[in-house]
Amino acid sequence: MTANEKQLSEIIYLILAALFIASLVASNLIFQKFFYWEPFGVYRFEISVGILPYPITFLITDILSEIYGKKKANQVVIAGIFASFFSMLIILVADVVPAIDSSPINDKEFHQVFGFSSLAVFASMIAYLFAQFIDIKIFHFWKKLTNGKHLWLRNNFSTFTSQFVDTFTVLFLLCSFEILPWTIFTSLLISGFLFKIIIAALDTPLLYGIVFLFRKKFNLKIGEEIAS
């Protein structure tokens, strides 16, 4: 690999890491709004908007795992943990300081929107730790087992397992903290997991396309990774 290609690969890595962290932090900030999606009238999904950017994080870790390797993927996961806890600290401070009388958003409104964010971040981080490391571990297990072939297999197997772990864990903790009622636990679990499965299946062609471009640009063989 030439010096220019090495520099380009590092820039792309930083961009992917930035997108990963932004998606992760955003999902924790917007989680209190819920919406429904009823594709073709077959099934009614009732899910948090926080789920919308979250699949992006799993797509990016799969790209990083495939192209940059397990170590680089884990580094981004750890960076995401620090970013999320730092955002939680900022929210806690912002929630404590009193609003002035002329503030467009008063203390009550701010707390209603962001007051539970710190607990949500904590719950999300516990689930995130389990899910992301499981995702990366399973991805590389299948990659080694198939000698770098069948990208769709490791992408979907790793994502399906890790997304169920993530969905179950975060909902369990949010209900335990009484942020969400237990009465909607099962419906949110089913909706959240099915939604993530659909997104994971839909992003498989996208993953193939991105990996193809990486291999073409950096002259990588099937299963080969960019050296650290």
Mean pLDDT of the chain: 84
Quick: pLDDT tens for 43-99. Answer: 888 888 888 887 788 789 889 988 998 889 889 988 988 888 888 888 889 989 999
Kindly report the pTM of this predicted structure. 0.80
Please indicate, yes or no, if residue 104 is contained in any of the structural domains: yes
- pLDDT for residue 1 is more than 80: no
Q: What is the DSSP string of 162-210?
A: HHHHHHHHHHHHHHHTTSS-GGGHHHHHHHHHHHHHHHHHHHHHHHHHH
- Is 226 part of any domain? no
Cα(209)–Cα(205) distance, integer angstroms: 6
Tokens found for residue 126:
């516990």
User: Which three-class secondary structure state does DSSP give residue 97?
Assistant: coil
Tokens of 207: 């993953």
- Condensed to tens digits (0 to 9), the pLDDT of residues 149-183 reads 777 777 777 777 877 887 888 788 878 877 778 98
In a domain, 158, yes or no: yes
Residue 24, domain member (yes or no): yes
Domain count, the chain: 1
Domain span including residue 99: 3-218
* Position 117 pLDDT exceeds 70: no
CATH classification at residue 144: 1.10.1760
224 domain residue, yes or no: no
Residue 50 lies in a domain: yes
* Domain-located, residue 228: no
Q: How far apart are CA 79 and CA 125, in angstroms?
A: 12
Average pLDDT over residues 184-213: 85
pLDDT of residue 107: 92
Q: Does any domain span residue 225? A: no
